Amino acid sequence: MNKPLHRLTGNPAKAAIITAPKLTANPDKAQYTRETGRGPLDTTSGDRLFRSMPRVGDLDEASREFRAVVATATPVQRRDAKGPFLEILDPAGLEFSDSDDFPLLTDHRQAARETVGRASGLVIDGPSVSATLRLGQADDIEPIFQRVKDGVIRHVSAGYQVLAWRESRNPDGTRTKTATRWRLLEVSLVPVPADRNAIIQRSAEMPFDLETRAALIETLRSACNLPDTWGENLAEEAVTEDEVREAAREAMLTRQAPKVSIRRDHTDPAQIQTRAADALAFRMAGGDLPEASREFVNMSMRDLAADCLTRAGVSVRGMSGDEVFARAHGTSDFPLLVSNAMGKVAAQAYQAAESPLKALARQRTLPNFKESTSIRLGEMGRLQEMTEHGEFKHTSRAEAGESMSLKTFGRAINVSRKLLIDDDLGLLGDMTAAMGQAAAQTEAEEMVALLTSNPNLSDGTAVFAAGRGNLATGAGSVLSETSLSAARKHMRTVKGLDGKTIIDAQPKFLIVSPDLETAAEKLLASIYATKSDDVAVFSGKLSLVVEPRLTGNAWYLLADPARVASLQYGYLSAAQGVQIQRQEAWDTLGLKYRAWLDFGCGWLDWRGAYRAAGA
């Protein structure tokens, strides 16, 4: 769909009520300087401002060519479906077409007889766009040329197509829409433009008459933020254009410079919600309270709901607590605030209850729930000696792939109307923390089940098997220095996928159940030995991991996952860890929330793992 054609046109009935706002030195209000990338108007930028104003130029009578400012960054009052707004054309956003040639019309009328010439030679000069206008030689165009020459027609208007808008709002509430990308379509000669600065650059011979002088005074007064009375006493002092500009420059230099204060903006809705959610999470579960959230820490649930309604433009005067919560559920961000606070509490409990086995595995993120295969390339072995001819011998690498897929686990929680009104945040915090702990419990049970189930890998053999050399049974599997030494020797000498290269899968973690915790601690403890036979040889070399969900005397050795990864676990890339979300419901007066977890785990390789039955 083509974008609408906008025109800076001059309907006298409408133009009479158009008044361009003043361009002040305040960066928040100075649309003229802000939207064109210039700094605020001050005493150091006055010369640049005056140079950017339309000045006297030449009119070539032979070619009928003359220069004109066809568009500027002057705000123009307009209206759309949302109401009135100030439209600004950013000259820097003008997109040049392949053909630098545009029709020159009268009053934007597209009829062939109204096309009186061409426009070309576009130039962006700070806050304005100028062009060379050429009138045709036809007899019916002669009167128009004479009017331009005499100064009767002195304004132009641009017809343009806006490709991209940027909308903002001034401190006084005025909407501003800036055309950040736009394309010129045509230029028209008009008697009354919306943009008074879109003007034909007059010939040097043209007189500086009272009308032209009044227009220049009005433009300078607005652009320089001079008093409304400035210019009334210039009748005898300034009789030329340069003298008017010089008087305006002096008035601007003598004007008291505005005081600019910079303050932190605390009105960003996203920041307010974050600070309120942190305060609510602190009241639910304790912990550290951010300094920025202190203003919300003493607010009850009703106070937070009322604050959300007020920021949404809803008055809570005279509302009961029940009515405040009922309105806040659907017309404010209160449900999201509670959801964010619950998410913070759940995440804290989730992290505190995480399984120690996760530290021994490699984490992945998956884009979907399809089965994902992790490919592991075999070793290169050693480099081969080259022949006297310098020939390289090609080799191939073995590869293996183990699969894993995600599963979704979830529970729901109801925040009752009574809990909200009673402001029982302790109970809400306990319920939320329990959801985080349940998510961690789910992950831990999945990891333990993976470790103890001993599933078959892609080669059809179980992870722990006598044929692989990583399974010890019988009396030699009891946890002792001797059995640990045998397991370490096997892992040190295990070969890679090529069956030749020793990968040195040095064991780092000793995993035991609570039944073996004391024995393992004694075995790994540092002692001051009186003779070499009493030294604890594994002290400081193995890290003890006690998994409370394991039972019996079986124990495991795992290598550092950074060297040889054995286990893997993953989350959905769009939702890592436990997620809490508000659930829309009509069958309750309170709030419903649901917690879910997209999690999966699997084996990567058997070479970095060893199991002993511990009989």
pLDDT at 316: 84
**Containing structural domain, residue 319:** 269-353
Lowest mean pLDDT among 331-340, 534-543, 554-563: 534-543
Query: pLDDT band at 212, cuts 50/70/90?
Result: low
Query: pLDDT band at 584, cuts 50/70/90?
Result: low
Domain edge (last residue) among 353, 383, 414: 353
Do 404 and 347 lie in one domain? The reply is no
Task: Tell me: pLDDT of 394 over 60.
Answer: no
Do 339 and 405 lie in one domain? The reply is no
Least Cα distance to 507 among 483, 529, 474, 531 occurs for 483
Task: Tell me: pLDDT of 512 over 90.
Answer: yes
**60 lies in a domain?**
yes
Residue 227 phi, psi (nearest 5): -60, 155
Please tell me which residue, 462 or 425, carries the higher pLDDT value: 462
Task: Tell me: pLDDT of 12 over 50.
Answer: no
**232 lies in a domain?**
no
When mean pLDDT is compared over 242-246, 500-504, 597-601, the highest value belongs to 597-601
Query: pLDDT band at 181, cuts 50/70/90?
Result: very high
Tokens of 351: 């992290």
Percent of the chain with pLDDT over 90: 16
The C-alpha atoms of residue 71 and residue 296 are separated, in whole angstroms, by: 49
For 151-161, what is each residue's pLDDT tens digit?
A: 788 889 999 99
**358 lies in a domain?**
no
Q: Tell me the mean pLDDT in the region 295-320.
A: 85
Q: Give the pTM.
A: 0.46
Lowest mean pLDDT among 2-6, 208-212, 474-478: 2-6
**99 lies in a domain?**
yes
Do 523 and 608 lie in one domain? The reply is yes
Query: pLDDT band at 396, cuts 50/70/90?
Result: low
Query: pLDDT band at 231, cuts 50/70/90?
Result: confident
Do 281 and 345 lie in one domain? The reply is yes
Do 312 and 187 lie in one domain? The reply is no
The C-alpha atoms of residue 119 and residue 135 are separated, in whole angstroms, by: 9
Tokens of 28: 């928040």
Domain edge (last residue) among 191, 206, 221: 206
What is the SS3 string spanning 381-423?
CCCCCCCCCCCCCCCCCCEEEEEECCEEEEEEEEECHHHHHHC
The C-alpha atoms of residue 339 and residue 351 are separated, in whole angstroms, by: 18
For 556-565, what is each residue's pLDDT tens digit?
A: 999 988 888 8
**393 lies in a domain?**
no
Report the amino acid identity of residue 47: D
What total number of domains does the chain contain? 3
For the residues of 87-134, what is the DSSP string, one character each?
Answer: EEE-GGGBPPPSS-EEEEEETT--SGGG--EEEEEEEEETTEEEEEEE
**301 lies in a domain?**
yes
Task: Tell me: pLDDT of 554 over 80.
Answer: yes
Do 17 and 106 lie in one domain? The reply is yes
Do 193 and 49 lie in one domain? The reply is yes
Radius of gyration for the chain, computed over Cα atoms and rounded to the nearest angstrom: 39
Domain edge (last residue) among 156, 182, 206: 206
Q: What is the mean pLDDT of the chain?
A: 76
Do 528 and 448 lie in one domain? The reply is yes
For 336-381, what is each residue's pLDDT tens digit?
A: 888 788 878 777 777 767 778 888 888 888 888 888 877 665 555 5
Tokens of 210: 């009272």
**519 lies in a domain?**
yes
Tokens of 459: 């080669």
Task: Tell me: pLDDT of 51 over 60.
Answer: no
pLDDT at 3: 40
**426 lies in a domain?**
yes
Do 444 and 590 lie in one domain? The reply is yes
Do 470 and 567 lie in one domain? The reply is yes
CA angle 7/10/15 to nearest 5° reads 115
Do 349 and 433 lie in one domain? The reply is no
Query: pLDDT band at 167, cuts 50/70/90?
Result: very high
Do 30 and 116 lie in one domain? The reply is yes
